Structure 1
Amino acid sequence: MAKYLAQGTAEKIGQLAGLSPEDREVVAYGLDYLLSGIIGLTLMLAIGLALGFFSETLVIISCWTFIRIFAGGVHCTALWRCTVVNCLGITAAIFFTKGVYYFFPTIFWVGISVIWAISATWLWAPNNSEKPVNEPEMRRKLRLRALFMVTVISSLVIFASNITVEPWSSLAAAGATGLAAGGIMLSPIGFRLVKRLDQKLEKLSRF
């Protein structure tokens, strides 16, 4: 849906602005990317709201997104499949966070997630399935930048986990889940999982 809407809008913009067919394709891709992001974010927040976990969902998405921006991570081969996988991921993350929050001390989950996120960033960042960075010096700089961002997020989550008044504890658990998810998307396991889901969704779309 987003793709067709983007293409139609790009055609109208192209006609009004006198853009070449190549420029219209660029505009269409940018609009498709923007609309897919808006739709995906809206759906994920709607899932959180429906499950009574809206604030925590927002925290999970924020931590997850910042790690992906600075450290990279696996992508699907189509934007709509990225949206579907992200919605499945956020649903799983919400249920997981609820389970951890109700059955384990928050500080325990926070500690595990922080260690994992920092380790994953050190081992695999920057990691991008589309445009891998191979130049050693550039990789070092990008890794240090990613580690700095993960450390900042981790510090905020640890700080929140030490506030026993609600909703800080549940928000800290959600932040820890966001950190863990960001680390998973950097790892070889995350790559294999997303690629398999991508292939399954591609096959389903052919029916």
Structure 2
Amino acid sequence: MIRNWSNKLAESIYSSSDRAYSVPVLAYGIQIVLSSLIKAALLLFIAWITSTFWTTLIAAFSFSVLRTFSGGVHCTTYGRCLGTSLLFFPFFGWLTIVSYPWYLKNEFVFFSLFFLYSLSVIWIWVPGKWDTKHLTHSDWTFKGRSVLLIFIIFSILYILPIESYTEVPVLLSVIMGWMFQLFTVTPAGYNTIGAIDKRFSKIFERRNIHA
């Protein structure tokens, strides 16, 4: 459906423009934008109705920023990626809220575990696989160092009293998104997301059979 919309919109832009656009390239770009907008709208809607809007938004943003440099497992289709996102991000938004009182009482222990976990994953598995992208050695080095730099900056900012100015558990939300993204570059993450992807595949196959 999104592909059809993208093709029609690309053809419309091509026919009404004086510039020589490549329709397939234009349609592909439109498809990416529409897919991202639909995913964001559905995710924020679910976060809103579950009263986890800000924690889900921050966790998803943290996840996305880190993913730009770290790579990681991907679902095989847009629909499965959408389903996985709608499954995990509101969950982490909710988990942030319910675990916040414990986090405040054990902040040093929590951050110590987070620090060791992040440093270990970054050192061993970052950057993760990039599907069909072929990264050069310099690309891998750049992305690995970028993730490490982001982690160091966040660790420094962690000591600042950010949450004293807001009622939203900002730092814990960031950590939730960060930990989930780092999980997706580990073997366990690939296995988990792969299993969910296959499960969604079976569900869609059953629906097609009964349709």
TM-score (ref. length: structure 1): 0.83
Letter in 1 for 2:202: K
Change over 3 Å in CA distance of 1:57–1:131 after alignment to 2: same
Per the alignment, in what secondary structure is the counterpart of residue 30 of structure 1? Answer: helix
Change over 3 Å in CA distance of 1:164–1:16 after alignment to 2: closer
Shift of 1:6: 1.3
Determine whether 1:120 maps to 2:116: no
Partner residue of 2:11?
Answer: 11
Aligned-residue RMSD, C-alpha: 2.7
1:173-184 alignment, distance < 5 Å:
173-184=172-183
Uncovered stretches (5+) of structure 2, i.e. residues with no partner: none
Partner residue of 2:24?
Answer: 25
Deviation sequence 1:127-185 (CA, Å, 0-9, x none): 13413656444322221112112332344345357x556525x2222121111111111
Whether contact under 8 Å (1:118, 1:151) holds in the other structure is no
Change over 3 Å in CA distance of 1:114–1:194 after alignment to 2: same
Per the alignment, in what secondary structure is the counterpart of residue 130 of structure 1? Answer: coil
How far apart, CA to CA, are the structure 1 residues paired with 2:129 and 2:120? 17
Whether contact under 8 Å (1:6, 1:29) holds in the other structure is yes
How far apart, CA to CA, are the structure 2 residues paired with 1:203 and 1:55? 33
Count of aligned pairs: 204
Shift of 1:68: 0.3
The higher radius of gyration belongs to: 2
Determine whether 1:38 maps to 2:37: yes
Identity rate, percent: 21
Whether contact under 8 Å (2:10, 2:23) holds in the other structure is yes
- The farther-off stretch of 80-89 and 111-120 is 111-120
Letter in 1 for 2:43: M
Letter in 1 for 2:79: W
TM-score (ref. length: structure 2): 0.82
Shift of 1:117: 2.5
How far apart, CA to CA, are the structure 1 residues paired with 2:97 and 2:180? 15
Letter in 1 for 2:60: I
Partner residue of 2:132?
Answer: 131
